[in-house]
Structure 1
């Protein structure tokens, strides 16, 4: 049975459930492909950018190198925030150098981590809800099929097996949508965790470097 025939046998609710599963599948695959490409580039850039920064002759040279190598702008916000001057008279300038650096690096790190986590909520939502959406389609499809059979006045295995089998397809479709989203969420989460650890380590080392350079 082709998709047009399948949808043609369903009412508005069944069609809406099928289209919802289709949108969830497309959305999750878009996120999977986009995040996979982004994290692959980010992982490669992190290693090159970090090594080049610590081999630079000065902080300014390190900033220039990071701007050239950090295509996904993961290290760059940390370096720019650490080297930026906080205007006097603001609460951000209160406290000693250590407190100021901790504040600006923490804020910059949170922004980068938010960028890395983009799309993870969608994958988690699809992975946890798609099976139940498919089950809803199955239950509604079976109910709709049985009501049609009851209205026809004749009950036989041939009249039951076809509509019920079509309804059960929705359960399989829900699982087919959910499984890639769950696997992708877990795999991408491991890559994100590694990058987060590297960023936190870089921020800590950068803070210690600037505090040492600020000592008289």
Structure 2
């Protein structure tokens, strides 16, 4: 008989049973947190593959660029690319052409405009690359509190039930407390991967930004040397 009671209690405290036993408010909280968890994992997987692919393509582009002997030919080959480093490169070439189109070239002004144009391009690419990171940050910071709200609401409901039943035995208290705590568990289930992924992806984006800035500095130095050689002529 005791064994049957233990099995019944275990079934009552299963995740599905806890959800079905919860009231409408707690169910809404649980469903919202589950949706946030699914959304978080979709963002994580998409970002993981996107970031890895971007890093590999940037490395290939940079290697090919420094091997290229003709910058104009290389630009014609890559000016339609949507790769972040290609857009930084295109921004530098476009500013170079605008600044050197006339007969008299202002070397100092040209250098400053090149640095500004490529710096702005780097910032724009990083903004686009990190566009969905705010989703992970939001879920990571808000989900535990939403789950806590569900827990508080469920505990309040349990205490109300205890008062109505006038029975404080563990068998009466446990299901309500368990379903309340289950809301917090779901909140943590959504928040923990979001926080870990946010920190990891932020580090990856910072590395890409540093690489784009190094490329921009190197390209800027190349154009500065070309500017000096053209002025001497």
Q: How does 1:160-199 map to 2 (within 5 A)?
A: 160-199=173-212
Aligned position for 1:81: 91
Cα RMSD, aligned residues only: 2.3
- Which residue is equivalent to 1:38? 50
Q: Which has the higher contact order (CA 8 A, sep 6+)?
A: 2
> Contact 2:133–2:198 (CA<8 Å) still a contact in 1?
yes
Report the counterpart of residue 8 of structure 2 in structure 1.
none
The change in CA–CA distance for 1:150 and 1:17 in structure 2 (over 3 A counts) is same
Paired residue for 2:36? 24
Distance 2:15 2:183 in 1: 14
1:207 aligns with 2:220: yes
Q: 1:16-64, CA deviations, whole angstroms, 9 ceiling, x for partnerless residues? A: 2112211221221111101100111011111111010111121123224
- Tell me which stretches of 4 or more aligned residues in structure 1 moved more than 3 Å: 5-8, 64-68, 85-88, 152-155
The secondary structure found in structure 1 opposite 2:217 is: helix
Secondary structure in 1 aligned to 2:84? coil
TM-score (norm 2): 0.81
Partner of 2:68: 56
Taking the aligned partners of 2:27 and 2:182, their CA distance within structure 1 comes to 13
The gaps in structure 1 that reach 5 residues or longer are none
What TM-score, normalized by structure 1, do the two folds share? Answer: 0.86
Q: CA deviation at 1:106?
A: 1.6
Deviations 1:57-110 (A, max 9, x none): 211232245458x6x51111111111114499xxxx9x7211211221122111
Higher gyration radius (CA): 2
CA distance in 1, matches of 2:98, 2:28: 54
Q: State the distance in 2 between where 1:197 and 1:104 align.
A: 16
Distance verdict in 2 for CA 1:79–1:109, change over 3 Å = same
Q: Which residue of 2 aligns with 1:9?
A: 21
CA contact (8 A) 2:79 2:90 kept: no
Whole-angstrom distance in 1 between the partners of 2:211 and 2:71: 19
